[in-house]
Structure 1
Amino acid sequence: MPSSQEVVDLESSQNADDSHFEDLLTHLALSFVNVEPLDLDELLIASLRRSVRFLGVDRSTLGRYDMLPGQLVTTHSWALPGIEPVPSPVAESHFPFMAAQIRAGHALVWDRVAELPAEAATDRDAFRQLGLRSIAVFPLTAGHEVLGWLSFSTVRQDHLWSRDQVRRLRLLAGVFANALLRQRKDLELNAAMAENLALRRRVEAENAVWREQVLHCHDFDDLVGGSQALRRVLKQVEQVAPTDSTVLILGETGTGKELIATAIHQRSRRAERPLIRVNCAALPATLIESELFGHEKGAFTGAISRKVGRFEVADGGTLVLDEIGELPMELQPKLLRVLQSGEFERLGSTTTRRTDARVIASTNRDLLVMAREGGFRPDLFYRLGVFPITVPPLRERKEDIALLTAYFVDRLRAKLGRQITRIPDEAIAVLMQYDWPGNVRELENIVERSMILSPGQSLLVDGLPTLAKRPSMLGCADDAADDWRTLSEVERDHILSVCERCGWRINGAGNAAERLGINPNTLRSRMNKLGVSRPAGSASRLGTAKAGA
């Protein structure tokens, strides 16, 4: 039986050990509080070193389960000089008993490896191959999750793990578990921040590229694109602009023929003089002659004063005759005379006047066919066609759609009050699939419509072929009435379509609110207002409380 003095000495020794351990535990816990993520690995190694020296063991390792499936990965380790490090990673199959116990949150302590139970025979053989004599392994548990393990071991001699020492090591494992959890959270946060930064830089770069290409891809104002087809047209513009030759611009409706005419004028030596336009299809035959050549007072009923015609106003400048194919046959000889000699008379006057107006004509009709069929004078056709330029339809220059879309978004943003800052690749893909019978003008209209329907900062283009039915939208057939819908009806159908595609999920990954670029509560409010409701039997897929639908 120990003497009273021996008992006092033992208690004093235990109190001293407890005090020293409390100092160690406090120091380690505080050191992890404000550590920078980049310094955490170094601090973990230093903490293992202090723990090994305090406990009087040979080695300590820290490992994680979530790095490689089926593998035990040592992330941090420290051993006394001359002690070999623990290999990493190793397969869990080498330590099946220990791995299962640790994953279940149980600590394993063995004074001698030889004492491992029979069901741990595989683990015992593996420990012996590593030269271990004693080992204590503790699960690193944080937030009801086992993140990894902390082990202490000896290789030189057996070690007796006292009850007090095991209790202390459990506390120590808790400190390391919190540090490991913080490291994982820091890594996840840094990864998320890096991803957000990369995404933001990508969006900024895309917008910068779009603006750069839209504004500076060429020297032609409002002529947007970089396709080979458009470059050929712009090359022709550069060739003919410095001359005074008559130009005939051919192309489908909406291809931008008026922009080509403007570009020719702006690059000619007449750029400082007026650019006058006359739409031959917009005026009745009885007035177009007066519009072009002018009239004297009393020349016809209603002519109460003298009027100067467009050819006189355009003297020294450029006269653009849009839709020249609609010019009445009876006026074509007079136009031919002006083109050949520059001479004409006002209506009601016998005085011959001269003009130095350069003529640029445009049409979406086949004038050669019209000439063969008697609808257009052949001599006027050949006189106008000195330098023909054919503007390609949008379906033949689809590579310009992205640039055109960005240009229209930039131009319409202030007008519509929409802060569209991003054009997703998915939107461009939808636009690229359409044939655009209305060409660039139709694209502009669709972009404007899409901006109105886009509630967020991303341009949403959905169901384009349905929204842009040309025969029903432009025709006058009785069955076209169903296609004339109000903005609320269009919005309702769009929300319904997106909700159906997303399985009526308002929240969560891939939800309808995310696709529409609005807050889930805002979506629910709009669904209530527009009368959008999920069909019966789909409640289980909604995954949320009543969505107001």
Structure 2
Amino acid sequence: MSQISSTAIIELALDLASSLNSKDRFDRLLDTVRKTINCDAVALLSFHGDILTPIALQGLSRDTIGRRFIVTEHPRFNVLCQSKQPIRFAADSPLPDPYDGLLIDREDDLPVHSCMGLPLYYEDKLLGLLTIDSLTPHQFEDISERTLIVISAIAAATLNTAFLIEQLESRADHSQRVVAELTEEAWRRDGGELIGESQIMQQLKEELTIVANSDFNILIYGETGVGKELVARTLHHKSPRQHGPLVYVNCAALPENLIESELFGHVKGAFTGADKDRAGKFVLANGGTLFLDEIGELPLAAQSKILRAIQSNEIQPVGQDKVEQVDVRIIAATNRDLKAEAESGRFRADLYHRLSVYPIRVPKLQERVGDVQILSGYFVEKTKRKLGVVQLKITAEAIKHLEQYNWPGNVRELEHVVSRAALKARARQKGKAIIAIEKQDCGALINLQSAQQEEGKTTVKAVTNISSVQADINLRAETEQFQRQLIKHVLLQENGNWAATARRLSIDRANLNRIAKRLNIKVIKSII
């Protein structure tokens, strides 16, 4: 006989609430059941796909934990799984007991004994069973039905909590592995290695090795097309944050009215169109690296908000009163002279100093003596895979032709030239096993000598004109005026086609758009 007091039930609930993990909860559950109900064996089984799996047990042989009970093959389990109420089997029940021969104290068949099972339901879903056995017949007859229902509810809640925590931990672990895998995959796909053996590139690699292990904010600067994004990814990959996210933000492409929302997130109803909560880039990069490309294009108002986030590691989503803590390393990149911009008031000086804890300059391709050939080989192999050709090579004459060019578009321009040349070479050499990129495939590139000659002629003209210049002159204003006139002139010749204009000016289209925006140059198309 066994009576269970309300005090024991309360102690059971409190004991389970203080448990730290699933195994601990299960063990405490069985301990408490054995303390309050005189029994020889107790087991907790989870139910999934018509199979009962033991997940915690006491009084049964350890090999029981490895068994998987198919419900339809065990009549007592079958009865329990079809019931929503605790069931006490008669001491002389003819139904075979699934634990025959498994009790620690008995190696042979079970004699007449007490057996009961508690189906564990949560929101009408069967989660598993709690089985209790005693070698003493009629042991459980005096326990009230209500008491068993309460124990069932507590055990079901314990099991459900454990399952939820397990799912959350699994999802968190899965998300972390996905982030790491995507970061690694992007690293391999986009070329994770800084290609080049020139002295200036060796110095850059040494700098990256020195600073990567720190948590310093980094400002990467250099001309368009030199590989600033690759440098940022290299820093992240070499840092202790390498398994965390690397979140990319193109500051030049952020709409001014949505910058704050994009960076810091917003809550539902914060503004028109905010129909749900949204995490910003700082939150997405938590525990990892936030790469702010083209940081110099941010308006001053947005710069002040980023400054606060960098200073205090705190953000405030739009429409939310509470401040959130973030752990983010900032890597910024620009093709502008931010120091000069800060001195002239076009960029916040305090933000510039926060970002440039360790400034890194990426050299122009023209400065990387001997690297054109190495990079060409890299891009040839990359293009070969894209085109699906058996073999692709580049001739010595073509390499010499490429080395004589001054590469205003830097590494990006070299990649595009090699890609176009490969297409032309493949078209000329159909059916050949080995396709060779020759000088003619690379197009008419202006070599350094010609460029220097042209530069000399321009200098003579400039000197002639300079003699008539007034004493006071603003170099930046004059330079911008010249850029404005030149871009407008070529745009008119190309009928407002930005892509064609960018090609004519040997500049990346996105960079041309940014310059045009700064110079207030617009193409207005009208329908008559």
Band of TM-score, shorter chain: 0.3 to 0.5
TM-score between the two structures when normalised by the length of structure 2: 0.48
**Rg bigger for which structure?**
1
TM-score between the two structures when normalised by the length of structure 1: 0.46
